[in-house]
Structure 1
């Protein structure tokens, strides 16, 4: 037997515990023996995350890997810019549309409700003064005012949440208006019979109008005007999130092209250039469009809404002053203030003071001849009204009631004619300012037209172009 064979047999003869081998379980549950050197040379197993990091680290050390990473950042960033722009501009466009279609018309309707109610009260007092046979035109004016107020209340209710402050005021008006008209009908019925009780019903109806209806209408107007202000503010807010994504996206695109130029000496990468152009267009469209929208909405507020508010207040003051002037003759000193003065004459004077102040403010806000002309005419008519009212009061105080009545509701040189002149001038001024507001607000809304749809479309094209540009560079390494 050779020496080598003897050594092998000696090794096999050793007990299993003394053999220099390691065992590993096989799939069948048995043991497979391997020399220690075999197991020591096997590399340790690593997790998937560690291997992914290694591959990423390896990719960033090669130019194809770096290009792939640039594409993976640029394309989603450009798409995110388009989506963010579309979302934020759509929100502001909706607010601008609300200004034009909802909040401003509702604010104007609320003012019309107030004017209609005040004018109905004025017409009712004027018809009562005319005697048992109320003039047909005065009665028709009253009926028209009540019908207008009722129609606008229905419209406002259809566009208002019942739980809101506006909804509560509308409900209050709908509840109180039938009571007021019922009192007016009782006043008319007693007046036709020549009963003094008619004057009491008329005064009670005026109190109902003054204490219940007009305050509710004023609160409705204030609530709708506040809603208009919120919509305008929402439409004016800059889309900061879109800008915060758009500026970095454009910066990354410019950097990618500069990097490409430094490494390849090629002036342009057409794909990246197209993506940059798309991003620039969206960014400029966003900034310029929103700036124009803000400017037009500000113009609508400064040159339209402010004037409308002052003119509405002026017209309401004139209506209340006219109603109090008529009631002065109806009550004939029966209703006094705490200091013993005629209540309705005192209220007339207060209303005329407010009217003068509002007309002065309206004149300052008017920015063109078409706006200043009616205001100037109204100021002249107010002066004439004051003079005629003074003559009527002097006539009444001298004991000539019929003469005073003629100076108040007569056909010629009466305070009624002056009031009608003021009301007509204010109506023309309001119509002009309403057109100014609507034009500017529509221009503001129009400045955002197309951007919510155009921004994501351009962004997708830009992302696709960036992908094509980078893929062509990658192809050069194959």
Structure 2
């Protein structure tokens, strides 16, 4: 008889499944919250809030960009005018030094004081201008070193002139050549760099409007699209908090655009108005003082006068061309009167009456060449101060409102984001 072997029973122990990880739980909760109609409403809310916040940030950035550009334009404009003032004072000092030399040791005290004051002011302003940037420090440092040599040459010319030594004329001519070849060019180079920087800053400021437009498209477009989706899901045409948020964002963006446009318009008016006029006046004055110095140098170099009078004419024509006759009619008339008086002196010298030409060139009587030139100098100096002050003040005024409006835009943007979130929450409550 066979025996059946029954296998022993196998006992299995139920091992509990491992608990889900926190990440898995969070992922499952998110999927659950975003599923169905409530989930779609939450997605709409998140998208609308992101659009509004991004719009506020971009709009604030656009306003800050324009403010920064105007700050840069104002700084470069101020530096440009400072450099041109240095050039004017240097040219004025050179004109005073050369004209007083014609007195042959009997230089007028007033001209001596004019020379010293102009040279001192130019040296102080040159040091101030050199602090603007590293490139300015290097270029203007070389100009300052040359200016020290220039003043030494003038001092040597003056000392020899008082003793009646003809070599004084050589020192004076060397000083004037140094002024034109080594001092003025670096100043003009840095002035040209400032002009380019002002132009670049205005271009950057103009580009900020496209960033503000992008902010408006993202913010307003996102809110409108969100409300369209809300209408489809809730079958209600108006969500008051979302609509109010849209209106608030539109209003603040329009206000930002108006302020930005006004600031750019004001800055453009300054560039084409006071700043441009100030640059023209400065250029005219530098060239006019150069012409005055050339007038004296020709007489100092006895026998060098000719009918063409090229050096003087080149400088004088530049002085005339730099003046806007429609605005500065008086200064233009005074400059023309000086030019007529100079031509008479030059013709007298060409005709061989050098002594009379010198007497006419150093005279300060009413209607003399120096009196006529001084009238032009006084008029343009007053006009230049007016235009430079207007340019500085108006550029500052144009920039004052931009950053406060940027802050307002950011605050209103956050409020609008809260408003649209609240509006969607009202619809979500209907599902509970």
Q: Does the TM-score normalized on the shorter chain lie above 0.5?
A: yes
Describe the SS at the equivalent of 1:399.
Answer: coil
Return the offset for 1:299.
Answer: 1.2
Assess if the C-alpha contact under 8 Å between 1:188 and 1:198 holds in 2.
Answer: yes
- Paired position in structure 1 for 2:336: 383
- Paired position in structure 2 for 1:92: 66
Return the offset for 1:300.
Answer: 1.4
- Paired position in structure 2 for 1:256: 226
Structure 1, unmatched stretches of 5+, are: 1-8, 22-30, 35-42, 335-340, 367-371
- Paired position in structure 1 for 2:177: 207
Return the offset for 1:283.
Answer: 1.9
Return the offset for 1:115.
Answer: 0.6
Return the offset for 1:211.
Answer: 1.1
Assess if the C-alpha contact under 8 Å between 1:324 and 1:344 holds in 2.
Answer: no
- Paired position in structure 2 for 1:139: 112
* 1:32 alignment partner, one of 12, 19, 32: 12
Distance 2:146 2:204 in 1: 35
Return the offset for 1:381.
Answer: 1.9
- Paired position in structure 1 for 2:264: 294
- Paired position in structure 2 for 1:24: none
**Within-5 A mapping of 1:257-272:** 257-261=227-231, 263-264=233-234, 266=236, 268-272=238-242
Moved more, 405-414 or 434-443: 434-443
Assess if the C-alpha contact under 8 Å between 1:107 and 1:228 holds in 2.
Answer: no
- Paired position in structure 2 for 1:318: 288
Determine whether 1:356 maps to 2:317. no
Judged with a 3 Å threshold, the aligned counterparts in structure 2 of structure 1 residues 391 and 244 are, in CA distance, closer, same or farther, namely: closer
Return structure 1 stretches of 4+ with deviation > 6 angstroms: 45-58
- Paired position in structure 1 for 2:279: 309
Return the offset for 1:67.
Answer: 1.4
Describe the SS at the equivalent of 1:32.
Answer: coil
TM-score by length of 2: 0.89
- Paired position in structure 2 for 1:420: 374
Distance 2:29 2:13 in 1: 35
Return the offset for 1:171.
Answer: 1.1
Judged with a 3 Å threshold, the aligned counterparts in structure 2 of structure 1 residues 458 and 98 are, in CA distance, closer, same or farther, namely: same
Distance 1:324 1:202 in 2: 12
TM-score by length of 1: 0.81
Determine whether 1:66 maps to 2:40. yes
Assess if the C-alpha contact under 8 Å between 2:234 and 2:427 holds in 1.
Answer: no
Describe the SS at the equivalent of 1:191.
Answer: helix
Distance 1:262 1:237 in 2: 38
Distance 2:40 2:26 in 1: 16
Identify the structure with bigger relative contact order (alpha carbons < 8 Å, sequence gap 6+).
2
* 1:451 alignment partner, one of 367, 391, 405: 405
Describe the SS at the equivalent of 1:450.
Answer: helix
* 2:6 alignment partner, one of 13, 37, 41: 13
Assess if the C-alpha contact under 8 Å between 2:334 and 2:373 holds in 1.
Answer: yes
Distance 2:264 2:41 in 1: 41
Describe the SS at the equivalent of 2:309.
Answer: helix
Distance 2:139 2:306 in 1: 31
Distance 2:225 2:71 in 1: 39
The aligned length equals: 428
Deviation per residue, 1:153-194 (Å, 9 max, x gap): 121122x222x2x23221111211111001111111111112
- Paired position in structure 1 for 2:133: 161
Assess if the C-alpha contact under 8 Å between 1:324 and 1:345 holds in 2.
Answer: no
Judged with a 3 Å threshold, the aligned counterparts in structure 2 of structure 1 residues 201 and 250 are, in CA distance, closer, same or farther, namely: same
Determine whether 1:437 maps to 2:404. no
Structure 2, unmatched stretches of 5+, are: none
- Paired position in structure 1 for 2:90: 117
- Paired position in structure 1 for 2:49: 75
- Paired position in structure 2 for 1:108: 81
- Paired position in structure 1 for 2:186: 216
Return the offset for 1:418.
Answer: 1.9
Distance 1:402 1:180 in 2: 28
